[in-house]
Structure 1
């Protein structure tokens, strides 16, 4: 009984899921969505339903497959060792791309304090790369320090965004919202498709929700419910905050802002309040980037431990920090920042979001399909199998639609990366093949 009391409750895990998902994912979205108009808000409904189905299925995967490896282990259940490698490879690249996007978000908010950062492509690049390396070096102290910083800094974005969802309605002007509805006169289906990658970006990270199953009460009930309630809670905050901001800030002004939440608070109150929100957003982005840098290095380490990534990714210091792997990850992110260089933070952010979504969605599909094998091996009841399969089909249908919505350029890039991954695995595959029996001379 005493041991149970130390474990996390449904409310505690639900809060944890929502906080982990929100992070810095929302920070630049109002600007990018304003470029399409308020009609893009309709994509939240589709993404929320799809994301809840995905979160639930990952929770079920965590219950049926508790071994380490996360999505890669789930994938291996249905797609063998090559599936484990390709899932790890694509997820690794997705995190690296997402980290560059988070750094760009932080630089966008920093431009008000350091205007030079917003004066062109080179200053934006320098600021982005500087933040990448600062957060990498800060991770050299190990996971304990990273966790403590992240647990505090994430509230820098959650408090302003959640607060706007409530107090923003006192400043909401219906005529502004109406004028912002569809300024480009896009067909409804096009507006939704174009904004799906943006809304999906805000939900990326839900795959980590099932990792706490050992630390919660009654995990078979608590984990799936917390995944659903946490995802729903984040969705409500996302929808309310991005809706209300469209009725406070004129659409043209919002579409060109590099710090949308700071802008709306400055409109509601004073420029000083806007600057405070800006500082909180920078703190949140840096804290989020700190955590995701560590997650990126740990993903590589996990794959190295499985003999699927180079061995140097698996080396750790006395502080349990994979420093060599982190440095290599930093070089990779620097190259990515160069390849997407743009004088416009919003444009660069949008490109990266689409590519990060594609390289994340493919592992989603492969991991989700592993649930079918897991349930078969566990001899799940007919009702459980039917319910989980129905939700799995919804999750996969959304994932495939989201892949389509990311656009041909992002899907083309993701396909090239996937094909290159198969080549890499070809060189690794011999490690997982049983050696041929030695036949002595003269014997048949």
Structure 2
């Protein structure tokens, strides 16, 4: 265990949580949100509040539940062993979908350098497949290499996005922003709901916020506070960068952009600067994809270690890489890429994001509803319990709203995928029952 002098302080933890949250999820969102208009900024405000509630609740879960499995372990505290499997399964499916969405983003940002990718949907599909294969193979050398690459490449998106939110205001034109406010004359609630799933997508990963509370000074105070500060800062950057881009690039051009951040820097400076930003975004996407694919391999490996996933997912090489499990994941990603081929990268991205967000809300809701049990089991004080219960309930309510905002199609297909998980768990439960009878 780390000595008190070597433990991390509030600002160090806040920085780490911020970097973990600000992956590549933001880089296609300005184009997606522009299809609704600048009124989608209201979605960011709602999501910022919901994300802070989720961050606080997960921080508390991470502090008081020391069992392996993260969200799955929190879920099992309230709902039992079957929910451990369903949370792991749906999180696994979500990360498969997310990997394809990130590969789609990366392909969009690659098009200025490789125009061939935009000539047909098949060309785009080939680009997505190539990126998925490249990043998966890079993970074969194990966690050390993946960690080093991801820690460096994430700054390829953080620097341009944070930079835009600060300096972009010098190019901001209120008339451009006003004309982009509500181009389709949508009702306010409809406009907010249309952007909730997209904005929530940008905060996915928040569930890892309280994972390292043992290495933090005064964790009862600093872990929740760091989560709230990191989420608040991230929300401010997201809102500011989205607002300023709507006031620089005309809505019609932004809504069809395959590389929106490259486009806005082209408007601000010149084509060469835009290409540099686009290249940084490509690097960030590749690093983010490496990290998410590695994370998913570890999720399935952990589930296999406790016999909730087939044992093939737990087999590792001398480099500690579960290659067989990774190849299964790659096959699922490629199948999903085939099923979501679209003439428009933005449209394909939106379909994938809505489905990913719905699927991810299943483990969110299961695990967040375990918070009160976790607090009770740890005999926390009355004030801490009531605060956790209220904020945790708000986090669940927001997560349910996130499900609604994903739309009927995402909910329909997401529900089918979730129910398939129960089919798989039936075989696992039967196997365990048989083993107990033989014991």
TM-score range, shorter chain: over 0.9
Q: Is the 8 A contact 1:150 1:288 kept in 2?
A: yes
Q: How does 1:305-344 map to 2 (within 5 A)?
A: 305-344=305-344
Decide which structure has the larger Cα Rg and report it: 1
- 1:16–1:415 CA distance, 2 compared to 1 (3 A): same
Task: Report the CA distance between 1:2 and its aligned residue.
Answer: 8.4
Check if 1:45 corresponds to 2:75: no
- 1:2–1:393 CA distance, 2 compared to 1 (3 A): closer
1:427 corresponding residue in structure 2: 427
What per-residue deviation string (whole Å, max 9, x for no partner) do you get for residues 33-88 of structure 1? 00100001101111000011001100100111111100000001111110000000
Residue aligned with 1:146, SS: helix
Q: What is the CA–CA distance in structure 1 between the aligned matches of 2:170 and 2:33, rounded to whole Å? A: 22
Q: What is the CA–CA distance in structure 2 between the aligned matches of 1:428 and 1:372, rounded to whole Å? A: 28
Relative to structure 2, which stretch is displaced further, 368-377 or 393-402?
Answer: 368-377
Q: What is the CA–CA distance in structure 2 between the aligned matches of 1:216 and 1:134, rounded to whole Å? A: 36
Check if 1:35 corresponds to 2:35: yes
2:10 corresponding residue in structure 1: 10
Q: What is the CA–CA distance in structure 1 between the aligned matches of 2:289 and 2:212, rounded to whole Å? A: 21
Task: Report the CA distance between 1:388 and its aligned residue.
Answer: 0.5
Task: Report the CA distance between 1:8 and its aligned residue.
Answer: 1.6
2:271 corresponding residue in structure 1: 271
Q: What is the CA–CA distance in structure 1 between the aligned matches of 2:421 and 2:66, rounded to whole Å? A: 26
Q: Is the 8 A contact 2:139 2:294 kept in 1?
A: yes
Q: What is the CA–CA distance in structure 1 between the aligned matches of 2:92 and 2:189, rounded to whole Å? A: 32
What per-residue deviation string (whole Å, max 9, x for no partner) do you get for residues 218-240 of structure 1? 22221111111111111010000
What per-residue deviation string (whole Å, max 9, x for no partner) do you get for residues 72-120 of structure 1? 0000111111000000000000000000000000000000000111112
Q: Is the 8 A contact 1:120 1:344 kept in 2?
A: no
Q: What is the CA–CA distance in structure 2 between the aligned matches of 1:214 and 1:345, rounded to whole Å? A: 42
1:298 corresponding residue in structure 2: 298
Aligned-residue CA RMSD (Å): 1.3
Q: How does 1:41-190 map to 2 (within 5 A)?
A: 41-190=41-190
1:19 corresponding residue in structure 2: 19
1:247 corresponding residue in structure 2: 247
Q: What is the CA–CA distance in structure 1 between the aligned matches of 2:324 and 2:131, rounded to whole Å? A: 18
Q: Is the 8 A contact 2:37 2:183 kept in 1?
A: yes
Task: Report the CA distance between 1:214 and its aligned residue.
Answer: 2.0
Task: Report the CA distance between 1:202 and its aligned residue.
Answer: 0.3
Task: Report the CA distance between 1:437 and its aligned residue.
Answer: 8.2
1:402 corresponding residue in structure 2: 402
Task: Report the CA distance between 1:4 and its aligned residue.
Answer: 2.1
Task: Report the CA distance between 1:201 and its aligned residue.
Answer: 0.5
Q: How does 1:334-373 map to 2 (within 5 A)?
A: 334-373=334-373
Q: Is the 8 A contact 2:125 2:337 kept in 1?
A: yes
Q: What is the CA–CA distance in structure 1 between the aligned matches of 2:94 and 2:356, rounded to whole Å? A: 5
Q: What is the CA–CA distance in structure 2 between the aligned matches of 1:148 and 1:2, rounded to whole Å? A: 22
Q: What is the CA–CA distance in structure 2 between the aligned matches of 1:395 and 1:121, rounded to whole Å? A: 39
Task: Report the CA distance between 1:436 and its aligned residue.
Answer: 3.9
What per-residue deviation string (whole Å, max 9, x for no partner) do you get for residues 150-188 of structure 1? 011000000000000010000000000000000000001
What per-residue deviation string (whole Å, max 9, x for no partner) do you get for residues 282-320 of structure 1? 000000001111001111101101101110100111111
Q: What is the CA–CA distance in structure 2 between the aligned matches of 1:423 and 1:141, rounded to whole Å? A: 34
Q: Is the 8 A contact 1:31 1:255 kept in 2?
A: yes
Residue aligned with 1:321, SS: coil
Q: What is the CA–CA distance in structure 2 between the aligned matches of 1:155 and 1:203, rounded to whole Å? A: 16
What per-residue deviation string (whole Å, max 9, x for no partner) do you get for residues 226-278 of structure 1? 11111111101000000000000000000010000000001100100000001
TM-score by length of 1: 0.97
Q: Is the 8 A contact 1:23 1:158 kept in 2?
A: yes
Task: Report the CA distance between 1:431 and its aligned residue.
Answer: 4.3
Gaps of 5+ in 2: none
Q: What is the CA–CA distance in structure 1 between the aligned matches of 2:438 and 2:292, rounded to whole Å? A: 45
Q: What is the CA–CA distance in structure 2 between the aligned matches of 1:215 and 1:197, rounded to whole Å? A: 33
Residue aligned with 1:210, SS: coil
Residue aligned with 1:69, SS: coil
Gaps of 5+ in 1: 439-444
